[in-house]
């Protein structure tokens, strides 16, 4: 497994590459208040959804969707805290949440996102990884490993832990990530 940074000198994904999208990627893509929104949107425009002649297959699982629906309001809450001088009272936080979730729904309905799930083997792999990766991340990594998917995340800690545990995740060849300098706010 290798770690690839998708900002600096990134030339894109391989044709027909199969990638599991982590929660943070989906939040950032679909929520303009997320600190990673600009960098993830640029990645998608330049290398996934934009004008290119490559077919990229993107996956999510129900646990990732569960995390997104639970966390959908967090980017706006963080934005409000980090921008106390901006008048954001006219923005309805529930509409931001609905937009975030509906953006993912639209990608699923358009078959841009393919829904996959785990099985017995991935569940056993999850059990072997939960202490190192955390419960949800272990599940996502185990499913990616079982289905031989690469992994895309904005979570540098997770990417590093996956690299440290690459012997247990031998079917994941690439982990794409970024660094905090590419956030629009911290």
Q: Which CATH number fits domain 2-180: 3.40.50.1010, 3.40.50.720, 2.30.110.10, 3.40.50.2300?
A: 3.40.50.1010
Report the distance separating Cα 113 and Cα 104, nearest Å: 8
The pLDDT score that the predictor gives to residue 50 is: 79
Task: Please count the other Cβ atoms lying within 10 Å of the Cβ belonging to residue 49.
Answer: 15
Report the distance separating Cα 72 and Cα 61, nearest Å: 16
Domains in the chain: boundaries = 2-180
Give the ranges where the chain is alpha helix by DSSP (H): 23-30, 37-47, 62-71, 74-82, 93-109, 120-133, 135-146, 156-164
Report the distance separating Cα 171 and Cα 134, nearest Å: 19
Report the distance separating Cα 58 and Cα 176, nearest Å: 13
Q: Which of 62, 65, 55 is nearest to 30 (CA)?
A: 65
Report the distance separating Cα 177 and Cα 152, nearest Å: 6
Q: Which of 41, 4, 21, 45 is nearest to 183 (CA)?
A: 41
Tens-binned pLDDT, residue by residue, of the chain (186 aa): 999 999 978 999 999 999 999 999 999 999 999 999 999 999 999 999 877 778 999 999 999 999 999 999 999 999 999 998 888 888 999 999 999 999 999 999 999 999 999 999 999 999 999 999 999 999 999 999 999 999 999 999 999 999 999 999 999 999 999 999 999 988
CB 6 within 8 A of CB 178: yes
């Amino acid at each position: 497994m290798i770690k690839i940074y998708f900002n600096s000198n990134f030339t894109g994904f391989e044709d027909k590459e199969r990638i599991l999208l982590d929660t943070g990627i989906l939040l950032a893509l679909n929520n303009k208040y997320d600190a990673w929104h600009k960098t993830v949107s640029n990645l998608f425009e330049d290398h996934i959804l934009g004008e290119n002649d490559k077919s990229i297959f993107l996956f999510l699982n129900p646990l990732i969707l569960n995390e997104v629906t639970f966390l959908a309001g967090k980017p706006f809450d963080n934005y409000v805290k980090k921008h106390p001088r901006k008048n954001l009272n006219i923005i309805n936080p529930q509409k931001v949440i609905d937009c975030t979730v509906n953006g993912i729904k639209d990608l699923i309905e358009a078959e841009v996102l393919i829904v996959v799930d785990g099985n017995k083997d991935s569940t056993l792999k999850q059990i072997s990884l939960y202490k190192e990766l955390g419960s949800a991340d272990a599940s996502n990594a185990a499913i990616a490993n079982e289905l031989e998917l690469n992994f895309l995340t904005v979570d540098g800690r997770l990417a590093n832990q996956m690299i440290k545990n690459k012997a247990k995740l031998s079917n994941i060849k690439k982990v794409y990530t970024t660094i905090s300098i590419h956030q629009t706010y911290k």
